[in-house]
Amino acid sequence: MTAADGEHEVALRDSRRLTSRLIPVTGLPRPLPLRLRADGAYLVTGAFGALGRILCRRLVARGARRLILVGRTPLPDRDHWHAVAPDSATGDRIRFLKELEALGAQPVLAPLDISDETALTAWLAGYRRRQSPPIRGVFHLAGQVRDTLLPEMDRTAFDAVYTPKVLGAYLLHRHLSDEPLDHFVLFSSIASLLTTAGQANYAAGNAFLDALAHHRRARGLPALSIDWGPWATGMIEELGLVEHYRTRRGMSSLSPKRAWPFSNASSARTGPNCSSPPSWTGRSSSPGTRSRRLWSLT
C-alpha cells in the first residue's frame, strides 16, 4: 500500500503482490444457443421487474415452460382478475402473466420476500409436496435501490438494499442445493466494481453475489454472476441515472434487444463472474448502439 504506484487494493498471495484489473475477455468459445428443458422449472426472483419480464420472455423462447415467478407483491386469485383495472399496477402484472401463457408457459406464482427464509422454505415444501417439476435454473434478480450518502446511511437504508441481494442469494444457494440445477445466475451490477456515490449498500450487496458465484464454482456447482452495466430500462432508468453513467462514467446503457447476446456469451464463459460491457468511451450519444464486449476482473 505504501508503494509509489498508487495501487489502493493489493493482495499478497504466495509472496506475490496482486492488484486487480478489469480487462476485456478474449478467446471465448462461440456460444451455443441456450436450451432449456420443458420438463424442468426455472425460478426467477424479481420476475415482475423490468429485467425480470425480459428474462422470462427469453427463457420461454429458449424452451422453458414452467416458470416460478418470485416477487413480494401478491396478485388476486384468477377468479377476481376480471375486476382489476387494466391500467393499474396489478392489471399490468396480470397482462404479463397472460402474455407468458400465450407464449406457451405455465407461470407459477411465489409471492414472497426472497430474504424471508420461513416463507421461502414453506413455499418450497408445498411445491415439492405437489410433486412439481424439479427446479433446473435459478435467476436471482430481486433487488432495489435506496441511494444514500454514507453519513446518512442508517441500518434500515443499508439493509433494504443489501438484504434481498445477499440473504436472498444465500437462501437460494442453501435451500436449492438438492435440486438438479443447470443454471444459477445472479444479476449483479457493475456497481460492485465501480461504485457511484450513495450506493455503498448496493455495491456491497452485488459484491456478495460475485463472491457467492466464485464460492459455488469452487465447489463444482453452476454459478454465474453478471455485473451488468446500466440498462436503458428498469431501476437505473427509473432513478434517472442513465445520463449520470453516460456523462460521468463513460458508460452507455444496454438496450434490451442488444444485451442478450452477451448473456448467451457469458453463459458460455468458464469463469463464475463477468461484467457486461458498457461502452467505455464517455462519448456515446446513442445508448446501446456500440459493439460490446465482456470484461473480467483479474
Ligand X SMILES: NC(=O)c1ccc[n+]([C@@H]2O[C@H](COP(=O)([O-])OP(=O)(O)OC[C@H]3O[C@@H](n4cnc5c(N)ncnc54)[C@H](OP(=O)(O)O)[C@@H]3O)[C@@H](O)[C@H]2O)c1
User: In the complex with ligand X, which residue's Cβ is closer, 37 or 140?
Assistant: 140
* Span near ligand X by CB under 6 A; candidates 128-136, 147-155, 233-241, 289-297: 233-241
**CB-side neighbour CA atoms (13 Å) of 251:** 25
Q: What is the C-alpha separation between 38 and 281, in angstroms, rounded?
A: 42
Asked if 262 interacts with ligand X (CB under 6 A), we say no
Query: Which residues have CB under 8 Å from 237's CB, separation 6+?
Result: 50, 230, 231, 253
Asked if 117 interacts with ligand X (CB under 6 A), we say no
Count of residues interacting with ligand X (CB under 6 A): 27
* Span near ligand X by CB under 6 A; candidates 47-55, 121-129, 130-138, 255-263: 47-55
Asked if 189 interacts with ligand X (CB under 6 A), we say yes
Type of residue numbered 105: A
**In degrees rounded to 5, what are phi and psi of residue 185?**
-110, 130
Residue in 144, 264, 267, 284 binding ligand X, rule: CB under 6 A: 144
Asked if 287 interacts with ligand X (CB under 6 A), we say no
* Span near ligand X by CB under 6 A; candidates 2-10, 14-22, 68-76, 95-103: 68-76
Residue in 228, 259, 263, 269 binding ligand X, rule: CB under 6 A: 228
Least CB distance to ligand X at residue 50 (A): 4
User: In the complex with ligand X, which residue's Cβ is closer, 51 or 100?
Assistant: 51
| Range list of β-strands (E), the chain | 11-13, 16-18, 22-24, 41-45, 66-71, 106-111, 135-140, 183-189, 224-228, 273-275, 295-297
Asked if 50 interacts with ligand X (CB under 6 A), we say yes
Least CB distance to ligand X at residue 147 (A): 12
Type of residue numbered 31: P
Integer angstrom CA distances of residue 171 from 117, 139, 174: 7, 13, 5
User: In the complex with ligand X, which residue's Cβ is closer, 50 or 207?
Assistant: 50
Q: What is the C-alpha separation between 184 and 225, in angstroms, rounded?
A: 8
Are 201 and 162 in contact by the 8 Å Cβ rule? The answer is yes
* Cα 133 from chain centre: 23
Type of residue numbered 66: R
Asked if 236 interacts with ligand X (CB under 6 A), we say yes
Asked if 113 interacts with ligand X (CB under 6 A), we say yes
Integer angstrom CA distances of residue 292 from 149, 226, 242, 254: 31, 14, 17, 9
Least CB distance to ligand X at residue 240 (A): 12
Asked if 141 interacts with ligand X (CB under 6 A), we say yes
User: In the complex with ligand X, which residue's Cβ is closer, 115 or 148?
Assistant: 115
User: In the complex with ligand X, which residue's Cβ is closer, 151 or 240?
Assistant: 240
**CB-side neighbour CA atoms (13 Å) of 194:** 18
Asked if 62 interacts with ligand X (CB under 6 A), we say no
Residue in 37, 40, 49, 256 binding ligand X, rule: CB under 6 A: 49
Asked if 277 interacts with ligand X (CB under 6 A), we say no
Residues near ligand X (CB under 6 A): 45-46, 48-52, 70-73, 113-115, 141-144, 164, 187, 189, 228, 230-231, 234-236
